[in-house]
Amino acid sequence: MADVNGCCSPRGLILQHGPWAPPGLLGDWARARGIAVDVHRADLGEPLPELEDRAFVASLGDYCNPGDVHVAHVAAERHFVAEAVARDVPVLGLCFGGQMLAAVLGGGIEPAPAPELGWCTINSTDRRVPEGPWLQWHYDRFTLPPGAVQLATSPNGVQAFSHGRHLGVQFHPESTIEIVRGWAASQADRLRALGIEDGDALLERGRPVARAAAGAAFRLFDAFWERAAAPTGITASAR
């Protein structure tokens, strides 16, 4: 387990599902805010850390979806996230993580009407979720769980929801062009089947807004942290 920031307690926990999907901007945010965070490679099959005294749990992207319970690490994480929700440990779900949170809360996971790949603007009804554009890279989607509050949508469906202190999004606020470039390269055949000949060019279209997207990601993470931390008396450092 890697430590993103060596100070402070209690600590956040980030669940990573492969070397190709690092914490990225979420890790940068934690360091900037002085929030201690452990990163656990959930895909490696090692026992998941204890939930006791966790400030929050964040789940990142994965090539699987939460319905793939025949995959050992997916089944283990589904149980883990359900336990976090039951204990009211705030959960931040990003893409696969948002789908996982939705599934645990009773929402559905289904193929999206069309893949959302590259830079997409969403329609937000809540200040916590900027409209982007955000990096997206998914073929499935979640439906709004019972009792959740819809915060943002796209033509493909729900893009963000809150449920108590939990927040799930379908896009990738943590990712950068450099991170997603690797996903595009590994899926070149799949992209060509969709009529996308140059995945790298698809991503580079967003280069002019990449800095603004990073700032929007920090605002989204700040809003999650403000709501997640306040009930326990934890405070983030000055913004």
pLDDT at residue number 4: 55
Rounded Cα gap, residues 133 and 217, in angstroms = 11
- 17, 40, 73, 172: the active-site residue: 172
Per the annotation, the verdict on 174 as an active-site residue is yes
- Structural domains of the chain in order of their starting residue, each with its CATH number: 2-232 (3.40.50.880)
Torsion angle of the four alpha carbons 7, 13, 14, 17, in this order, in degrees rounded to the nearest 10: 130
Query: pLDDT (tens digit, 9 = 90+) per residue, 68-78?
Result: 999 999 999 99
- In this prediction, residue 133 carries a pLDDT of 97
40 labelled catalytic: no
Q: Specify the pLDDT at position 230.
A: 74
Catalytic residue among 95, 116, 138, 166: 95
Q: Which of 17, 116, 138, 174 is catalytic?
A: 174
Quote the pLDDT of residue 221: 98
What pLDDT digit, counting tens, does each position of 27-39 carry? 999 999 999 999 9
Question: pTM value?
Answer: 0.92
Residue 1: predicted pLDDT? 59
Distance (Å, whole) CA 223 – CA 97:
17
Residues of the chain where predicted confidence (pLDDT) is lower than 70: 1-9, 231-239
How long a stretch of residues is the chain? 239
